[in-house]
Structure 1
Amino acid sequence: MLDQRFDPAEAEPRLYKAWEENGCFKPSGDTSAQAYSIVIPPPNVTGVLHMGHALNNTLQDVLIRFERMRGKNVLWQPGTDHAGIATQMVVERQMAESGENITRRDMGREAFVDRVWEWKEESGGAIVGQLKRLGASCDWSKEAFTMGDRNHPDNNMMRAVTKVFVELHKKGLIYRDKRLVNWDPHFQTAISDLEVDQREVPGHYWHLRYPLADGVTYMHPIKDEDGNTVETEMRDYIVVATSRPETMLGDTGVAVHPEDPRYAGLIGKFVELPIVGRRIPIIADEYADPDKGSGAVKITPAHDFNDFEVG
């Protein structure tokens, strides 16, 4: 007797299992038919799929099933991405929360790598399970992982990744350059902008005197609360306003706005960096805001992305 109501929780897994067991998702193997394939954008193995993945994979599945019904030799290639640093972060966080009181350095490289592979199998399995529950008609016999199979280090996936990397390097699309990166002092490596949590916190402005070099002096205007010049004074220093005085040792210059009359005569001159005593130039750049702080800012390219561009 048929149930009066359709129960997707019972029907969908049963139908999917039947499709998979009967090889419905594999290419037909008919080389005379037109080939059609999609490589699934590999999700990071560090977590579970979200609504964006559900939409993306549903649209791919629509195309795959449509072309399969048209008689083409169709392959939907599934896979996951290793996301190395993020995976390391997840595993170390798990170890800390479990109360094991052991770090990756305590374990040693080999043991920690084994732990990461264990997590990969667990998390990757969850992702595959989600895709199957969604009804994705991937050819699971060809499931791939961007780090390959550790039991078969000479597999095609590793060779393909290496080949593409070398080709991109030869074309100049991957290159080595001096760039500012997000350095993680805990993991002792650089991480991408996507893995950085930017937070604004209350700060404080420090006003520091940078002595002018070569005996240079200038007349600095003194203004009242309304911005009117009430007097001038002779200075042999320039006041730099900063919220990060601790980065002073890495300064390579002091920037003032090119249209700021207070410092017009100082552009091209030099200051002596306090404590260090290194000569650094005073430059004109629109990055300096005349109405912010003293109007003169320290430039530390190794600390700040804006400073890097100015530098």
Structure 2
Amino acid sequence: MAQAWFATGPGGIGEWELRDVEVPAPGPGEVTIRIHAAGMNPADVKHSARPGASFPVPLGYEVSGEITAIGPDTAIGSGAARVGDEVLAFRVSGGYATELTIPAEKAFHKPWTLTHPEAANLLLAGATAAELLDRSGAREGDLVLFHAASGAVGVSFLQQARTRGVRVVGTAGPANLDVVRRYGGVAIEYGEGLVERAREAASGAPFVAALDGVGTDEALEASFELVADRQRIITIVRPDRVEPDGIVAIGGMMRASAVFRDGVRGPLVDLAAQGLLEVPVARTYPLNEARSAAEYLMTGHPGGKLALIP
């Protein structure tokens, strides 16, 4: 008997429940994973409380662990696999668990460069960052502005941009400016005078795009001043500004975004295997402390990724 967390109602974290569950044996095209770490993302909380959700909602979208069973004539997303292989998986349903049977194409061999907590947090933030970089249209030598560059998506974006020679000016609070610098960005503090600081950091170069990971009016208004083409102002948190302001929103619940993010999983795993993509982990929690971990996550200042350890 395995254990798994579910949201049992729309009331948020207080309505999460850890239950005993039966894990089905894998059929063709499926694998069963013993989970060593479950990644945590704000989407876990937000999506489980969304209007129209059908409860109970299994929690968790990404995991890292080892294959304990594999269906007949089955390969995983990165190729042939066998029982005992260490893997990570993304866009699963019910990752806050001890064991899980999933479509095999969602699993990829875990890079030896990453621990299980790191691997369990690689792909949701990484795929979001990859889509932002792709939609920005930025090429080698171009300059982009990234709001909230010290967050999980921002840190992944900084590293991916560096592999393509794209330059980044990233905003952060005073305590996190060194995080932006550590991963190759030019760090500027948000707050009054943001536009002027951004222009100074650009040293006369134009910003070809602005990427919004924070959603404040300040960030969006600064983007409007610095980037003329509204289709190159892209947000992951303010879809309500798309129609009135003509900007672009992306998100994992959107079909085009989901297709892109599925397609970029393999390349992101390869970058991590080459040591080009790190995943800072701030804290780990026992699986049975998922509610406490989620409450800390939603403070907005965890200082890195969180993982649940069964």
- For CA contacts below 8 A with separation 6 or more, give which structure has more relative contact order: 2
Given the two structures, how large is their TM-score scaled by the length of structure 1? 0.24
Larger radius of gyration: 1
Higher strand share: 2
For normalisation by structure 2, the TM-score amounts to 0.24
